[in-house]
Amino acid sequence: MIVLGIDTATSAASVCLGSEEGPLASAMLDRPRGHGGFLDPAIAFCAERAGVGLREVDGVAVTLGPGLFTGLRVGLATAQAFAHARQLPTVGRSSLDLVAFGYRHVRPDRVIVAVLDARRGELFWARYRPTADGVQRTSDQIVGSPERLAAELAADGEDVLCVGEGAQRHTAALSSARAQVAAAWAPQPSAVTLVELAVPAFARQATQRPEDLRPVYLRAADARISWRNRGAVLGGTAAEEAR
């Protein structure tokens, strides 16, 4: 089975072709000028490097978020179009799941809190418990301030390993809550990890139709918030300003 993985949840974008035996080829670009301009050439590059024709792909995996609004839309639309054109099954995974999975062996005795930068002074996070074959999410996916996360960790009093780019940006606040912040060797989700997690789902046919995939934003789009703020400044409402 050959799986195409697409991740555009953060400021980095990545693509991977892989199978049960591991990644065949991957491409990653940190802070691309446009996720859309990266994906098609990256998919073609991975196919060429892997010696795989795109008709040989058996399934498509994509990160659903939480993450950056525009990037998520581009990645999801590309995955859906590719899968729909070839009538392929799809698997969607949380970007926080991917980050937590990368640290499952670092401190298996600790709760893992995956943290991503949500911009505008906020973070996305979720809690995980290491298991024999990966990690299991044990909380909702949350968006909030670093102070809120630090307060929750301090109140819980658990031994926690905070991982991801969001944790790295707020090491001081999280360390003050007695959380350990992991080294930044795998701070963002990646298509390589996505494929590793998705292959078993395809094998047991735990898949979706491409049109059934839904992004996880956790908050309103930045553009919508900008309209609301502009309307308030001009003395109107968000609904009035949007018309």
Query: Tell me: the pLDDT tens digits for 31-45?
Result: 766 787 899 999 999
Distance, CA of 211 to CA of 238 (rounded, Å): 30
- Calculate ∠ Cα 195-201-205, nearest 5°: 135
Angstrom distance (rounded) from CA 16 to CA 43: 8
Instruction: Find out if CATH 3.40.50.1220 is the number for domain 3-95+189-228.
Output: no
Annotation: CATH topology of 103-181: Nucleotidyltransferase; domain 5 (3.30.420)
Domain ranges of the chain: 3-95+189-228, 103-181
Q: What is the pLDDT of residue 105?
A: 87
Q: What is the pTM of this model?
A: 0.88
3-95+189-228 and 103-181 share one fold: yes
pLDDT tens track of the chain, all 243 residues? 999 999 999 988 999 999 999 999 999 988 766 787 899 999 999 999 999 999 999 999 999 999 999 999 999 999 999 999 999 999 999 999 999 999 988 888 899 999 999 999 999 999 999 998 899 999 999 999 999 999 999 999 889 999 999 999 999 999 999 999 998 766 789 999 999 999 999 999 999 999 999 999 998 765 444 434 444 434 443 333 333
